[in-house]
Amino acid sequence: MTKASSLSSADVLEETRRIARDVIAPSADETDRLRKFPRHAIDILGKCQLLGLMVPREFGGCAAGLQEMADVLEILAQGCASTAMVVLMHYCSTAAIAAKGSARLREAILPQIVEGTHLSTLAFSEPGSGGHFYSPTSRAIQRNGSVELNALKSFATSAGEADSYLISTLNADAQGPQELDIYFVPRDMAGLEPAGLFEGLGLAGNASAPLNLKGVVVSAENRLGGEKSGLEVLLQVVLPHFQIGSAAVSVGIAGTAFERAVAHVTSRKYQHANQSALAQIPRVQYLVAEMAMELRAIRAYLRETIRKAVAGEDDAMLDVLAVKAKASEACLAVVSRAMTLGGGSAFGRRGGLERIFRDAQAAAVMAPASDVLKDFIGKAALGLPLF
């Protein structure tokens, strides 16, 4: 039996704030400018047991829930959104392994995650299905008790950097687009390799790149859940963690933009106007008020979504689907106003707002994209089947 983590919820947040302040935020601009994977930050998060946040206590983890995960990701995103996205994908993968992995897989991998020596991630999206990440077009092949995987994944965060990937693919005998499986694939498997770089507008440091699988053979024990249960794993475990976590990252980005905008307008003064700060201008006050309202509203909605998801309320899935889209829209609204308030200096790299503006664009198009989510939300609100 692995010793349970000694970190309390208060310890987790205090440690996260310290690392975000002292390690992550100071290197955020360099991470962005050099498109550099934040390995140093990830290593420190691992040493402080924060990569094991979602691991059950029986394996030494913190056994955190959705609210604690969201709080951690918001803090990380305030320092560096690229780092926060790497951690979010790791948390989603960890939660799925803990909930649906075989006993052998859990016993082998979860203690490593707690020790900070194993980083995992998701690789779901494919060119053939785009933002409809729940419908892979690749198909597994049965090989004498093992499974052969052949797929090109469009965007895999931490590609080439993670120690393992969760790979979605159609079951070998699938009769429909939702009969899929999810497999745990270690990074050192023959036939698995990143397929180039993704030169993204924002989140430049999260090593998001295509991932190619050619003749990758894994044991059937590497499957999460039973045969053809991949969609269940995705909807019950991965989707809630990703949607809520992505919303938290958007809130963190927006919070940083708000803080920087407020700092600018309260310190920036016009010499020709008797040193009056920009904050004295009514239009500036109006824009700051709109930003504050957006932030307070989306934070409240995120907390309510988490409450309903944890309680298992009947309409919780509607909010889980909506919260990522709503948070990304609120983030864009806040950051856009921050850019307006920052004026010319906001468009230069030195102030940091330009990076934050680019990072804010990602959530709306990251699968499931906002338009796909709104299709689901509309169907759910009308009582129609999602698939």
Burial call 237-260: b when 16+ CB within 10 Å, e when fewer: bbbbbbbbbbbbbbbbbbbbbbeb
CB atoms closer than 10 angstroms to residue 103: 8
Would you state the pLDDT for residue 6? 65
Would you state the pLDDT for residue 386? 79
Side-chain-facing half-sphere of 381: CA atoms under 13 Å = 10
Would you state the pLDDT for residue 1? 47
Would you state the pLDDT for residue 8? 81
Please, which residues have CB within 8 angstroms of residue 142's CB and are 6 or more apart in sequence? 148, 172
* Contact of 144 with 126, CB cutoff 8 Å: no
- Per the listing, tokens 């934050």 go with 356
* Contact of 156 with 210, CB cutoff 8 Å: yes
Fold for 9-118, please state it.
Butyryl-Coa Dehydrogenase, subunit A; domain 1 (1.10.540)
Partners of residue 216 on adjacent β-strands:
149
Cα angle 343, 346, 348; round to 5? 125
Among 112, 188, 116, 123, which Cα is nearest to 154's?
A: 123
Q: Are strands 164-170 and 180-186 parallel, antiparallel or unpaired?
A: antiparallel
Has this prediction a pTM greater than 0.75?
yes
Compute the distance between CA of residue 96 and CA of residue 105 in angstroms, rounded to an integer: 11
Query: DSSP assignment, residue 147?
Result: E
Would you state the pLDDT for residue 5? 67
Ordered by start, the domain boundaries in the chain are: 9-118, 123-228, 231-381
Superfamily of segment(s) 231-381: Butyryl-CoA Dehydrogenase, subunit A, domain 3 (1.20.140.10)
- Decide: helix, strand or coil at residue 383: coil
CB atoms closer than 10 angstroms to residue 18: 14
Which pLDDT tens digit goes with each residue over 253-307?
999 999 999 999 998 877 666 667 899 999 999 999 999 999 999 999 999 999 9
Partners of residue 165 on adjacent β-strands:
121, 185
CATH number of 123-228: 2.40.110.10
Would you state the pLDDT for residue 381? 86
Would you state the pLDDT for residue 4? 61
Low-confidence ranges of the chain (pLDDT < 70): 1-6, 271-275, 350-351
Would you state the pLDDT for residue 197? 77
